[in-house]
Amino acid sequence: MSCRSSAARRRRPRPRTPQRSWSSAGAGERRTQEWALPGTFLHEEETLAVAVRRSLRDKAGLTPEVVPRQLHAFDDPSRDDRGWVLSVAHVAALPWRAVEPLLVAGAEDVRVRPVDDVHGLLFDHDEIVRRAAADVRMAYAERPDPDALLDEPFTIRSLFRLHEAVAGALDYSADTFRRAMLPMPAETRRRSEGTVGKPAQLDVRRESVAGTVP
């Protein structure tokens, strides 16, 4: 998904099937036409990481190159009316090119929405989306493009636009952002081409450097 979007899958009526594991990676199935985040129950002897990637592939049509990271365990006993179901939520920030095929395909059971517009999902999935967005935004407040959404090399201007998209809005100017970021990316000896105005310095991520964006 894009840095500002969350994929949701509509549940179609289907029989409930017995599950051998009490823990789930995301949401389980429900007899409803409402929307929910893609998820699955763990299979026997399956790791959470494998279950998450299987769920994204089978239910959202996503095969991300990155490994989703664990976000939080949601264990409120009343969160699921089918019984006590613990969900271990995961989050991954994906470049738009990884999500765009979903929109082109026009699948009726998959939607992509800006995270700030998501509401009314099943169970506690609204809270999962809010927590995931906060997690990604915090990471971007501390480092330049930690999820490598930009192709390298990039300009400070494109980095600013990315951080602005992740945050939803920034309460400081592009010049302030530039001054804060300049020590962190590693400069190349190349400059942008084919643009209007003075060619801009091209940078790459410096993984060993971390700081805090104002």
> For residue 74, how far is the Cα from the chain centroid?
18
User: Could you confirm whether domain 5-140 is CATH 3.90.79.10?
Assistant: yes
Per CATH, the architecture of 143-204 is what?
A: Orthogonal Bundle (1.10)
Give the C-alpha separation, 120 to 19, whole Å. Answer: 26
Q: What does the block give as tokens for 202?
A: 């091209």
Taking only the tens place, the pLDDT of each residue in 68-109 is 999 999 999 988 887 888 899 999 998 888 888 877 877 778
What are the residue ranges spanned by the domains of the chain? Answer: 5-140, 143-204
pTM score > 0.85 for this model?
no
Taking only the tens place, the pLDDT of each residue in 160-177 is 889 999 998 878 788 888
Residue 53's closest CA among 32, 72, 67, 37? Answer: 67
110-114, strands of its sheet edge to edge: 35-36, 5-10, 110-114
Taking only the tens place, the pLDDT of each residue in 43-63 is 999 999 999 999 988 888 888
